[in-house]
Structure 1
Amino acid sequence: MLRIKSLHLKDFGAFKGEQAFDLPDEEGVTVFYGENMRGKTTLLNAFRFALFGKIIGRGRRAVSFHDMINWEARAEGARSFEVRLQLTHAGAEYRLTRTGRPKAGVGSPTGHEDYVADYYLERGGHILPAQQAALELERILPEQIARFFLFDGELLQEYEDLLHGDTDMGPKISQAIERILGLPTLTKSRDSLKAALDKAEERVALAAQGDQKTREFGNQLQSLVEEREVLTADLFRHEKDLEILRARKVAIEDDMRRRERMASLLDKRDRLAGEVEALEGLIQKKKEEISKAMAPAWSAVIRPQLAAAVSAHRTREAELQSAVTRAQVLHSLAEGHDPACPTCLQIVSPDAQAKIRSLLPGGADGSPEADQRELAGVRRRLDALDAQLADSNPEALRLLWSDLEERKREVYSKSAEIEEIGKQLTGDAEDELKGLRGEYDSVVRQIAALEEGVKATTEKLAANATYRDNIQKRLDKLAGGQMDSERRRRDLASRLYELFKDSVDVYRDQLRHRVEADASRYFQQLTTEQDYAGLRINDSYGLTIVHRDGTDIPIRSAGAEHVVALSLVAALQNNAQLRGPIVIDSPFGRLDGGHRSRIVEVLPDMADQVVLLVYEEELPPARAREALKGRLRAEWALERQSARHTELVKR
C-alpha cells in the first residue's frame, strides 16, 4: 500500500522558493483550489517528476526542464529546481529527492538538453545505492501503470480506444491494465517455461545428431531451431520498432490535435485566398463589361429627347403602315383580283371597281411606293433610336457599377480576414504543421511496412513450428538411449508450458469479469441515467454501456466516456496488486452538475488517498464539503502572488 505523506517544492514551475504541504494520514480527499495558470497541472507534474523524472504538458508532450525553473527565481540567479516526496510503502518510510540542474560545464543553460535530473532515495533514513534505489522505485510504483494514479481528467477519453482494435493507444492501455492487475507475474512464468521448452527441443536436436539413425532428422531439427531463433529475434526487433513508431504516431497525433486551431486557420486562409483570386477574376470581367457599356453612356444625357423621337417615329410608322395597307387593298379591288371587300366581305361590283380606280393616285396603275420608301426609312431610324435608347439605360449601368463595388468590398473583407489570420499564426507555423503532417505520413507508412513484416515473420514461425512438430514425431518413433532422456525433459517442459499458458487465459478471464463487475457497480453509482444497467467488458478491457433492456449503447457523449473511464479506474484500483493514491487534475471538465456531485461522493471509495486539483467554479467548496462531509480531510488554495509566482496556502 503506497501512501504519500508530504511534497516539498523548490523553485518548481509557478512555486517560487521552498514550499510544501502535508497530506493527512486519514483516508479521504484533499482538494487543491486554483484558477487557471496558477499551478494545478504543475502540482501533478511534481509527483510525476519526483517518481519518474519526467514532466508532461498538454497532450502528453514533454516539457523542458529549463522552462520548469520558476521564472522569478531564474531572474534572480536560480539554475535548478527540486521536488522531495515523503511516502510509505509496505511498512517502510521513504524520502525521494529529485533535482533538475544544469549539466556539468554548462554555465548558461538555454534548453532541455542542458539539464540532467539527479535523484536519491532514502529508506528509514539511509540512502540506498543507485541500483537498489531504482529497483525500489520500480516496486513502489512502476511507471507503466502510473496513468491509473496520476492523470489529467482531460485525457480520460483515451480509454475509449480500448473499444477499438485499430488504435495505437488501446494496446498500450491494455498492457498497463494487465500490469496493474498483476498478470505479468504469470505471463513471465509462462514465457520462462517457453524458453525452457525451446532449450529442451534444442537438446533433443543435439542428441539426435549424435545417433547415426536419427542424424538426418537431428540436423533438420537443429536447422529449424536456428531458423526459429533468427525469426524470433527478427520478430522481437520488429515489435520493438513498432512500439517506438506507434508511440511516435500517438505523440504526433497529440501534437497535431494541439495545432488543430492552427490547421483550421491555415485551411481558412487558403480558402479565403482562393475566393479572393476568384473575385479578382470577376472584377476584371465586370470592368470589361463596364468599359463596353461606358462608350455609349453619353446618350443617357439626351435620353428624354431619344424617347420623344422614338414615340414620334412610332406614330409616323403607324400612319405610314395604315396608308400603305389601304393603298394595297384599293389596288387589289381596282384590279379585280378579289371582288370581295376584305373588311365587309361584300362583293364589289364592276361599277364600284371603276370608281375606285378613278380615285387612286396615278390611276389604276398607281402604287404607294413613296409611302413604302418613307416607312422603310422611318423603321431604320426607329431601330437606331431603340438601340441608342437601350445603350443609354442608366439603371443597367448603375447595376454594373454596384456589382463591381460589391465584389471589391468582398475582396477587401476577405483580404482583411487573411491579414488577421496571419497575425494569429507564428512565423514557422505553416512549415511546422506541414512537417508534422509529412512526418505522420512517413510514420504511418513505416508502421504498415513493419506490420507486414511482423505478419510474414509470424507465418514463418508457425510454419517452422509445424515442421518441427512433424520431425519430433518421427524422431520419437526412433528414440532410444540419450534421446529418451532428452525427450522426457522436452515433454515435461511442454506440459508445464501448456499448463501456464492455459492458466494465463483463465486468470485473464477472471480478472476481466471482476473488473467488469466492479466497474458496473461504480458506474451505476456515478451516472444519473437510471435506464443504464451497467457496463460490459471486451477482451481489451474496453467498457460498453448496457441499457436495462440488455442492448448496448453504441454512441456515447464525451461526458459519458468520462464517467465510464472513471468507473474503470476505480475498478482497477479495487482489483490492483498495488494500491495507492489518486492524483487527478481537472476531473469534471466534461460533466454536468449532477454527475459532478455523484463523482465527488464516490471518490473516497475509489482510493484511500485522493488528491483533487480543481478551480472553484468546477467544484465549489460548499458543494465539496456537503458531498464529502467527514471524508474531506484538507483544503489548500493556490494563491497568486504574481503571474510567475504562486503560493500554497492551507485553508
Structure 2
Amino acid sequence: MIFTELVIENFGAYVGRQIINLRPSGSPLGHPENNDVVRPIVLLGGMNGGGKTTLMDAIRLALYGQRAKCSNRGNLGYSEFLKQSVNSHATSADITRIELSFEDVFEGNWQQFKIIRAWKRDIKDGKDSLSIEREDRFDRNLEEHWDEYIESILPLGISNLFLFDGEQVKELAELDTPPPAVVEAINNLLGLELAEKLSVDLSVLVNRKRKAIASKAQLLTIEEIETKLAAKKQDREQLNENYLIIDEKLKQAYKKRERATTKFNKQGGKIAAERDVFEARIQELNSQLENKRKDLIELAESSLPLGLIIPLLNNAIKQGELEVKSQQFKQAQKILAVRDRKLLDYFDTISLSPESIDKIEFFIEKENKTIADSIKDAGDNYLDITEKQLQQLYVFSGDRLSLETKNSQNIIQEIERLTTQIDNTETQLASAASPEDYQKLIDAVENTQKAISKYKTQYDIAKDKVENIDREIDRVTQELNRKLKNYSEEAIDKIGDEHIINSATKVQDTLKVFKEKLTLKKLNKLETEVKDCFLYLLHKSNLINRVTIDSDRFRLKLYDTNGQLFPKQRLSAGEKQLLAIAFLWGLARVSGRNLPIAIDTPLGRLDSSHRNNLVERYFPTASHQVILLSTDTEIGEKEVNSLRKQEAISQEYLLKYNPDKRQTTVEKGYFW
C-alpha cells in the first residue's frame, strides 16, 4: 500500500482546496516492490498549531470515518465532530471534503483508489458521504463494504503503529508495559488474535449445537441465562464507556497539572514558596561575608600594609646591609689598629732588617686603606640600624609578609565568591512571584491536584465496576456453558452433533497450544528485530546483548553483554524514545505488512546525537513511504540538509499558518 495524494478542503484550519502530493519518487506508480524507489520521505513542515496534526487526522478520517481515532475528537459524537472540523470561514453552502488516494494490490494487480468523504456544516443524517473510486470509476460495492476492505489492508487496531506521533512514542518510552490499546494492536499485527477468534467461533458453534439438542424446558432456562448474559454485556459496554471517559479526563487532568506546575516554576511560584529558605540563605551568606571582612581588617592591622611599600622596604634592606657592613668594618678598623701597633712594636724587639719592616708597614697601610675605602663606600649612616633590627626586617619583608599577603588574597577571593552568591540568590528572590500572583499560581496547581484526586477516585470506582461486571459475565457464561453441557450430555446419544461438540473441544485445545507456539515464534523474531533496530539507532553496539519480550503483556527487558539484566531506568530519556521507536520498527518488520509510516512531531524531546541517529538511520529506511510532519526545531536546517544529501526526500511542503486569519495554506518547499 502506498499513499499518493491528499486533498483537503475547508477542513480544520485549511481554507479552500489544498493538494499534497504524497507519492515517493523513483517509480511511475511508486510500488514498494520496485527497487528504484530511492526517496521515501515526504516532508511537511509547520509550526506548532499550524495544522500538522490536522493532516494526520485527515488521513485517519478518510480511512476509517466514524471509527477514526482523531486527536481532537475526545468524547464528541461523530456528527458533532464533523461540524467542529469545518473551517470557521466556510459558509453553510461550502463543502468540506477529504480525498485520500492510494495504490494497492487488488485482485492480483496494482490499482489506484480514491477515498472521498464530504459534508457540510449542516450535516444530514449525522454523517458524511462516502465515495470510493477504483481505477477512476466509482465502486459501489467497495463503498458498501469499505470498513471490511480497509480492515483487510490496514486494520484500525494496528493503524496507531504506523500512523503515530511523538507524544505516543514518549508515552510508550516511559511505560514498562505497553498500554492495552498497543497490546491489542500487537496481537493483531502479529496475527495472534486469529487463533483466539477461531476458538471463540468454535465456542459459539458448540453452544448452538448444544441448544439444538436441549429440550423445550431446558431451552427456556438457557434463554433466560442468555438474556441475563446479554444484559450483563450491555451493562459492561456502558460501564466500559464511562471508564474510558473518566480515563481520558484523568489523563487531561495530569496534563493540566503538568502545565500548571511548569507555569508555577517559570513565573517564580517555587521561589516564592521557598522565600524563607532564600532569605535565610542570604542572611547566612551575609554573616559569612562579614566574618571574612573582619578577618581582612585584622590582617590590615598587622604588617600587611607594608606590602604597599615593597620597593621602599627592599631599598631599606640594601641600605641596612651597607650600614651594618660599615659598622662591622669600623669595629674591625679599631681592633686592627691596636693589633698593628703591637705588631710593629714587636718587630722592634726582634732582629729584622729595616727593609723587611718597611715592607710590612706598607702592607699594613694598604690593608687599612682598603677597609677605610669600604667604610667610605657604605655612604651615610642615616638608618642607624643594628644587625638585629636588620634580621627583623628580613622576617617582615620575607616569610611573614608573603604569608599575610597570600591569606589576604584568599580572603578577598572568598569575599568575591560570597558576594556573587548573594547577588545570584537576591536575583532569584527578586524573580519570585508576588503574594497575589503566588496565590493564583498555587491555587491553579492545587485545583489541578484536586481534579486529579477527584478523577482518580472516579477512575478506581469505574475500574472496579468494569472488573466486577467482567467477573459477573464470566460467572454467567460458565453457568450457561455448564447448563448447555449438562443438557447436551443427557441427550447426546440421540443427536448426531456429538462429534462436532467433542471435536471442537479438541480443536480448541490444539488452538491454544498453536497460539502459544506461534506467540513464542513471533516474539523470538520480534526480540531479535527490536534489538537490531535499537542498536542500529543507538549506534552503541556494546550497550545491550539481548532483548526479551514476555508473551503476556509484551513487557520488554534488556540484558547487557554479561547476561545481566539492564534496567530500563538506566537509559536516558532519548535512549528510551529510541527503544520505543525500535519496538514499533521491529513490529512493522515482523508483521510483514508493507505499509506507509506517518509520524507527527517525530523528534520532540530528543537531544542532538539521538536526533541525528533517527534522521540518518531511521527515516530513510523505516518504510517504502515515510510521511514526516515536523516543526523547524525538530527537523531543522542541519537535519533537512542531511536528508537531502542522502537523497531521501521526494516531496517538501510548508504548512503556512496565518494567525490573524487563523488559516493554513500548503506551499511547496520547506523552512530552508
Tell me, yes or no, if structure 1 residue 452 matches structure 2 residue 468: yes
User: Is the CA contact (8 Å cut-off) linking 2:239 and 2:465 kept in structure 1?
Assistant: no
- 1-structure distance, mates of 2:564, 2:73: 34
Tell me, yes or no, if structure 1 residue 155 matches structure 2 residue 154: no
1:150-549 to 2 correspondences below 5 Å? 150-159=163-172, 163-164=176-177, 170-203=179-212, 205-206=214-215, 229=226, 233=230, 236-237=233-234, 239-241=236-238, 243-261=240-258, 264=261, 415-418=435-438, 421=441, 438=454, 440-459=456-475, 461-462=477-478, 482=494, 485-529=496-540, 530-539=542-551, 540-549=553-562
- Alpha-carbon deviations, 1:358-413, whole Å to 9, x = none? xxxxxxxxxxxxxxxxxxxxxxxxxxxxxxxxxxxxxxxxxxxxxxxxxxx99x97
Are residues 419 and 267 of structure 1, via their aligned partners in 2, closer, same or farther at CA, if it must alter by over 3 Å? Answer: closer
Tell me, yes or no, if structure 1 residue 650 matches structure 2 residue 659: no
User: Is the CA contact (8 Å cut-off) linking 2:529 and 2:586 kept in structure 1?
Assistant: yes
Q: Which amino acid aligns with 1:550?
A: G
User: Is the CA contact (8 Å cut-off) linking 1:180 and 1:572 kept in structure 2?
Assistant: yes
User: Is the CA contact (8 Å cut-off) linking 1:59 and 1:255 kept in structure 2?
Assistant: no
Tell me, yes or no, if structure 1 residue 99 matches structure 2 residue 141: no
- Alpha-carbon deviations, 1:134-167, whole Å to 9, x = none? 3333334332222112111112233358744xxx
For 2:563, the equivalent position in structure 1 comes to 550
Q: Which amino acid aligns with 2:209?
A: A
- 1-structure distance, mates of 2:453, 2:492: 64
User: Is the CA contact (8 Å cut-off) linking 2:62 and 2:116 kept in structure 1?
Assistant: yes
Tell me, yes or no, if structure 1 residue 134 matches structure 2 residue 147: yes
SS in 2 for 1:259: helix
For 2:70, the equivalent position in structure 1 comes to 56
Are residues 69 and 433 of structure 1, via their aligned partners in 2, closer, same or farther at CA, if it must alter by over 3 Å? Answer: farther
User: Is the CA contact (8 Å cut-off) linking 2:53 and 2:600 kept in structure 1?
Assistant: yes
- Alpha-carbon deviations, 1:251-300, whole Å to 9, x = none? 112221332156659999xxx9xx99xx9xxxxxxxxxxxxxxxxxxxxx
1:28-47 to 2 correspondences below 5 Å? 28-47=40-59
Q: Which amino acid aligns with 2:62?
A: A
SS in 2 for 1:38: coil
Gaps of at least 5 residues in structure 2 are 25-29, 31-36, 277-428
1:641 offset after TM fit, Å?
4.8
- 2-structure distance, mates of 1:99, 1:438: 40
RMSD: 4.1
For 2:362, the equivalent position in structure 1 comes to none
Are residues 36 and 486 of structure 1, via their aligned partners in 2, closer, same or farther at CA, if it must alter by over 3 Å? Answer: closer
User: Is the CA contact (8 Å cut-off) linking 1:224 and 1:468 kept in structure 2?
Assistant: no
Q: Which amino acid aligns with 1:195?
A: V
- Alpha-carbon deviations, 1:555-596, whole Å to 9, x = none? 244323321221121122112254311110111112122222
Residue among 88, 97, 120 paired with 1:82:
97
For 1:4, the equivalent position in structure 2 comes to 3
Q: Which amino acid aligns with 1:647?
A: T
User: Is the CA contact (8 Å cut-off) linking 1:523 and 1:534 kept in structure 2?
Assistant: no
Gaps of at least 5 residues in structure 1 are 106-113, 210-218, 280-408
Q: Which amino acid aligns with 1:48?
A: R
Tell me, yes or no, if structure 1 residue 119 matches structure 2 residue 135: no
User: Is the CA contact (8 Å cut-off) linking 2:114 and 2:134 kept in structure 1?
Assistant: yes
Are residues 497 and 7 of structure 1, via their aligned partners in 2, closer, same or farther at CA, if it must alter by over 3 Å? Answer: same
Residue among 574, 593, 602 paired with 1:559:
574
Are residues 641 and 241 of structure 1, via their aligned partners in 2, closer, same or farther at CA, if it must alter by over 3 Å? Answer: closer
Are residues 520 and 249 of structure 1, via their aligned partners in 2, closer, same or farther at CA, if it must alter by over 3 Å? Answer: farther
User: Is the CA contact (8 Å cut-off) linking 1:100 and 1:115 kept in structure 2?
Assistant: no
Q: Which amino acid aligns with 2:203?
A: K
Task: Name the TM-score, length of structure 2 as normaliser.
Answer: 0.62
1:229 offset after TM fit, Å?
3.9
- 2-structure distance, mates of 1:562, 1:16: 35
- 2-structure distance, mates of 1:433, 1:99: 42
- 1-structure distance, mates of 2:555, 2:236: 23
SS in 1 for 2:516: helix
Tell me, yes or no, if structure 1 residue 598 matches structure 2 residue 613: yes
Are residues 225 and 645 of structure 1, via their aligned partners in 2, closer, same or farther at CA, if it must alter by over 3 Å? Answer: closer
- 1-structure distance, mates of 2:174, 2:656: 37
- 1-structure distance, mates of 2:71, 2:633: 23
For 2:627, the equivalent position in structure 1 comes to 611
1:86 offset after TM fit, Å?
0.7
Are residues 59 and 93 of structure 1, via their aligned partners in 2, closer, same or farther at CA, if it must alter by over 3 Å? Answer: closer
1:447 offset after TM fit, Å?
2.1
1:204 offset after TM fit, Å?
5.0
- 2-structure distance, mates of 1:227, 1:503: 35
1:489 offset after TM fit, Å?
3.3
User: Is the CA contact (8 Å cut-off) linking 1:145 and 1:177 kept in structure 2?
Assistant: yes
- 1-structure distance, mates of 2:74, 2:519: 29
- 1-structure distance, mates of 2:86, 2:601: 23
Are residues 647 and 104 of structure 1, via their aligned partners in 2, closer, same or farther at CA, if it must alter by over 3 Å? Answer: closer
User: Is the CA contact (8 Å cut-off) linking 2:222 and 2:483 kept in structure 1?
Assistant: no
Are residues 544 and 235 of structure 1, via their aligned partners in 2, closer, same or farther at CA, if it must alter by over 3 Å? Answer: farther
For 1:308, the equivalent position in structure 2 comes to none
User: Is the CA contact (8 Å cut-off) linking 2:492 and 2:498 kept in structure 1?
Assistant: no
1:546 offset after TM fit, Å?
2.6
Residue among 623, 631, 650 paired with 2:648:
631
- 1-structure distance, mates of 2:262, 2:636: 36
1:123 offset after TM fit, Å?
1.6
SS in 2 for 1:37: coil
Are residues 161 and 589 of structure 1, via their aligned partners in 2, closer, same or farther at CA, if it must alter by over 3 Å? Answer: closer
User: Is the CA contact (8 Å cut-off) linking 1:162 and 1:171 kept in structure 2?
Assistant: no
- 1-structure distance, mates of 2:259, 2:633: 29
- 2-structure distance, mates of 1:38, 1:493: 56
User: Is the CA contact (8 Å cut-off) linking 1:528 and 1:594 kept in structure 2?
Assistant: no
- 2-structure distance, mates of 1:224, 1:564: 54
User: Is the CA contact (8 Å cut-off) linking 2:41 and 2:651 kept in structure 1?
Assistant: yes
Are residues 265 and 437 of structure 1, via their aligned partners in 2, closer, same or farther at CA, if it must alter by over 3 Å? Answer: farther
User: Is the CA contact (8 Å cut-off) linking 1:153 and 1:588 kept in structure 2?
Assistant: yes
For 1:620, the equivalent position in structure 2 comes to 636
SS in 1 for 2:566: coil
- 2-structure distance, mates of 1:154, 1:634: 25
Are residues 440 and 118 of structure 1, via their aligned partners in 2, closer, same or farther at CA, if it must alter by over 3 Å? Answer: farther
User: Is the CA contact (8 Å cut-off) linking 1:534 and 1:546 kept in structure 2?
Assistant: yes
- Alpha-carbon deviations, 1:7-55, whole Å to 9, x = none? 1121223332222121223351121222223222222222122223357
- Alpha-carbon deviations, 1:467-513, whole Å to 9, x = none? 877x599x58xx88525x34333222222232223322322222222
Q: Which amino acid aligns with 2:117?
A: R
SS in 2 for 1:83: strand
SS in 1 for 2:634: coil
Identity between Structure 1 and Structure 2 (%): 20
